[in-house]
Chains A and B, each alone.
Chain A
Amino acid sequence: MDWTTEQIVALAPDTASAKSGRQTAKPAQWRFLRYSGDSLWGECQGSDANPYQTQVDLTEPAFKCTCPSRKFPCKHGVALLLLYAESRDTFAESSEPPDWVTNWITARRDRQAQRPEDDGFSLVPPPVAAPKASSDSGRAKRVSARESKVARGIDDLDLWLADLIRAGLGEANRKPYSYWDAMGARLIDAQAPGLARRVRELAGVASRAVGWQDTLLERLAQLRLISQGYRNLESLPPDLQADVRTAVGFTVKSEELLSLPGVQDLWQVLGVRVTEEDKLRVQRAYLYGTHSARVALLLSFNPVGAPLAPESLFAAGTAFVGELVWYPSAYPIRAQIRERAESVAPLPGSGFPSQGADALAATFADALAKVPWIDAIPAYLNPARLETTVGDTSRWQFRDSENRIVPMRPTDSAAAWAFVAESGGHPSLFFGEWDGRTFLPLAVRSSDSEAKR
């Protein structure tokens, strides 16, 4: 069978192996590249005095290599398969494979005949480990200790907010970063990282040139709303309780999450956004369930500079079959993958309904009614043209067929131009994040993206 580069790289046990496999996939590092039937082999000069003998059985694929690496498959195996996929010409056909090749193949075939399921490496992912039951007695104690810490942090926050309002916000834009950061640090100590992040963001709001006063008061009021919600937590509906706890900074335990009911569907990746926050690379992937019509946001975090693990790599326009579980919320968007099975060819259209400017406003009002501090929701804009704002070519806007305007969220101009190039000034279907005021495009349907389907 034929393997594509993407599939082969996905076989690597981790990103480092994938990368070194890529680097080893140079014909100049190999000798005696041969094939016979479903077998490939070759010899690679490594750090050892003797070359490593590497072979691949294409049927599974299965790998064998004489190198000392404990990784499976090792970089030589990945590289050999990559070479075969990309420069087949460099392999010569061999009618008489050497003994070290035939021995392994024969042994494998024999074992397969006896026990067809488990031999070497196969593409089927291992079953998800059952959640470890933890009935730790100390756990209840830790939970209550944290809750009282958070409660003290909330008290401090309310006092700080009241002080700010009493003294007046008029000169808040002259306060040093340390003023905001100190309250942020206090909330970190109180184990309320969600609130800490919101407080630290105020420093950026206050330093805006225009309109900082309105936004600052809005954000302070939102903070007070969350703190009040936490004080009255028991009186709120369970879903909204979860939203308040998330906003404060409580995380949902993975085993709790995976015990919730999930949704099995064909998931289409509508758009992906990668940002850097606090030395972390954050990937937001928005999915749409073809049959369930549910929307999901998958967040992945990894250190800046390190590549994302293959299982959390999503590319817009691809699709897979799998099961998702949502984090509890009154407006559930964020989800986690319980099971990701096969990748499938995406459908011609996602089926996700697009909306005009008016409907977008109504949808966001609905979201606000559920979670008043919601940041943004995924949305498809009705066919609209992306154009520069009259009189200011550095600002962009979407114009729908009835000349209603949705401003584009300011972003770097390279990204904006890429969307202009792709839509060509034609009314196009844009997918993105909608925060009630501005729309950030993440993907656009164009003749190029159609051509790929």
Chain B
Amino acid sequence: MSQDATALWKSLLATALLGTGRGATPNATDWSRVRTKDGSLANALESVAGDDSETRLLHSAAVLSTYMLAGREPAHSDSETATKAADAEVLPLCPDRATAFLEELLGGRGNTSARQALFIEWLQTAAAHRVRVPFRQLPILLQIGLKAENAPILRSAIVPVVGRRGIWLAQQNPDWSWLLEGTQDLFALAEASETTFEWSTATTPERLAYLQRLRRTDPEAAIEQIAGTWDEERSETRSAMLRTLEINLRPEDEKLLELALDNRSREVRYIAAGLLARLPKSAFAGRMRARAIDAVVVKKPLIGGARVEVNPLETFDPTMERDGIVERPTGAFPNGVRAFWLQQIVASTPLLHWSEISALSPAEYIEAGLQNDWKIALLTGWTQAANREKNKDWLEALWLWHLNPRNPAPYHTHLSVDVLPIPVVFSLLEAAIDSSDFARASNLPVMLLQSLVARSVPPPESWQETVTTQLIQRVEKDYGLHDWRKAALPELGRLLGPNHCVTFLRFWNTLPYGLSSSPRLDGFSRFVTAITTRKRIHDAFIQGY
């Protein structure tokens, strides 16, 4: 392109900006300045017609801008490219039908938690077949992972299906570095942010978040930080700070917790007592054990089973108040205040105490406790202690006792499940399978299944088969479900293997009319739909299906 053309365009533009009403008009002498190889531009400009200078200017601009656009030459870069190309891909591409399903899941609307579960299932199925997503879907997956900071299952499901290309792509965009950092690096990131943390200017939520991080990496530093401003804080803040000690609780924390027992706030005292009860060697635990020794005695006669005897306190000992034991129940306590005190003492006594004073197993303690008039206080106390200490032996024994259909249901309580190892959850499910007493056990098997959903682990195949048969038998028998299986249908729809899908569909296919739309089978109908969708995902990965 001629330099002159550019200069002429600049002068035309200057005139146009200023306005022909005010500025000089380009005239014929300007065109002769334009030099091109064949003179065609000058000729074209010279032949521009127009009654007025405005029209001539516009016509000249039209000629010139077209000339310049047509004559543009591509820019040349002096430097080599900065980015390294991706290595050859090792994972094969997933089948077309699986891609279509993925696009449907990514583009869909509606129930997001159900769709997310299907999305995770898609990813896990792809990983099981050792295939990857299409390259063009990688940015969407990396973006989903970026926003899934609090959903480690989602992130770890994405990682195996991105292939080498996904790792290469994550290197190109700092937003997607989460794919490159393992969980280890995430901690490093947290530490890096601590170096810039300023306690004195931080808000209370920021301080609490900082304390939680610090407890994971340096528990001693965290307790020093809390002790440093302990006297200045309001009691709600003190409660919240004490709660952070639950992370990496250590015997060294006792000093501050003992101090907290003298606090005026009942809540602070209660939290401190709860934490101290989890430190078996603490002075607090010693005081509680002394009370427990007075209150509960194990008798092992020569003939017959062990017995648990209770010597109830006749009056409230004021020193118990400091250790978080409440004198008067806030609501009605049908078993009397003495049972109320006993329950709190048992709940705050380390479970280690019971195995030290007798060789009885947790299950034997539960059996023996039930022979006693104080059984509700004893069982509730042990349950609370087991939940608080996350004691697997006691929790398993309590679970088994509750799931046993022969046992009566003396009380309702919450039982932790997330601390139980998967094999224990499986054996508990085995125990639940024969239970049909809806009122008694409805929520317990559901809690077990929810825990498996959260951990993304399906129940054992034999268990699935039994439940499949049972579900169909029960629907067949009275066209309705009346036990825990009904409450667990949403979880079962997510956990049962798609290989059972055909059984359910064949059965559903034979149901009489009117029943399908009956509200009684609403949950079952949703269950069949859910498992069918999952079957479609699995089938989509089988080539040539």
Contact = CB atoms under 8 A, between A and B. Distances in A.
B61 A218 contact: yes
A34 to B, nearest CB: 9
A208 B181 CA distance: 40
A424 B88 CA distance: 9
Contacts of B138: 418, 421
Interface string B67-101: 00111111111111111111001000100100010
Nearest to A365: B70
A268 B81 CA distance: 33
Given A28-B525, A162-B54, A87 B536 contact: yes
B66 A368 contact: yes
B62 A221 contact: yes
Contacts of A422: 135-136
A425 B168 contact: yes
B61 A404 contact: no
Interface string B31-64: 0000000000000000000001011011111100
A224 interface: yes
A364 B73 CA distance: 11
B55 A162 contact: yes
Interface residues of A, number: 71
Interface string B501-543: 1100110111101001100000001001100100110000000
Contact of A425 (B54, B72, B85): B85
A399 B77 contact: yes
Given A90-B502, A224-B62, A403 B76 contact: yes
Contact of A89 (B135, B502, B513, B528): B502
A448 B70 contact: no
B16 A165 contact: yes
Contact of B77 (A29, A403, A418, A446): A403
Given A162-B55, A167-B21, A372-B62, A31 B511 contact: yes
Given A89-B502, A421-B169, A221 B59 contact: yes
A119 interface: no
A158 B536 CA distance: 63
Given A90-B509, A399-B81, A425-B83, A358 B74 contact: yes
B19 interface: yes
Contact of B80 (A92, A166, A403): A403
A326 interface: no
Contacts of A228: 59
Nearest to A161: B58
B140 interface: yes
A86 B135 contact: no
Contact of A87 (B13, B80, B140, B532): B532
Contacts of A437: 69, 72
B22 interface: yes
A451 B89 CA distance: 13
B16 A169 contact: yes
Contacts of A390: 79, 82
A8 interface: no
Contacts, number: 197
A220 interface: yes
B502 to A, nearest CB: 5
A170 B58 contact: no
Interface in B85-125: 85-86, 89, 93, 96, 100
B58 A165 contact: yes
Contacts of B82: 387, 390
A437 B93 CA distance: 36
Contacts of B61: 217-218, 220-221
B69 A27 contact: no
Nearest to A386: B83
Interface in A399-453: 399, 402-406, 414, 417-422, 424-426, 436-437, 446-448, 451-452
A191 B59 CA distance: 24
A217 to B, nearest CB: 5
A405 B511 contact: no
A27 B528 contact: yes
A220 B58 CA distance: 7
B12 interface: yes
B19 A168 contact: yes
A361 B513 CA distance: 70
B134 interface: yes
Nearest to B164: A424
A369 to B, nearest CB: 7
Given A86-B536, A87-B535, A404 B509 contact: no
Interface string B171-187: 01100000000000000
Interface string A330-362: 000000000000000000000000000110110
Nearest to B84: A425
A246 interface: no
Contact of B135 (A90, A365, A387, A424): A424
A45 interface: yes
A170 B511 CA distance: 79
Nearest to A364: B70
Nearest to A358: B74
A108 interface: no
A365 B137 CA distance: 37
Given A27-B505, A92-B509, A447-B89, A436 B75 contact: no
Nearest to A368: B70
B62 A222 contact: yes
Contact of B75 (A213, A405, A448): A405
Nearest to A30: B509
A420 B169 contact: yes
Nearest to B168: A424
A33 interface: yes
A360 B69 CA distance: 12
Interface string A34-54: 000000000001000001000
Contacts of A161: 54, 58
B509 A446 contact: no
16 contacts: A26-B529, A31-B516, A45-B516, A87-B532, A165-B16, A166-B19, A167-B19, A168-B16, A169-B19, A221-B65, A225-B59, A368-B66, A387-B82, A417-B139, A422-B135, A424-B85
3 smallest beta-carbon distances between A and B, as pairs: A168-B19, A357-B74, A424-B86
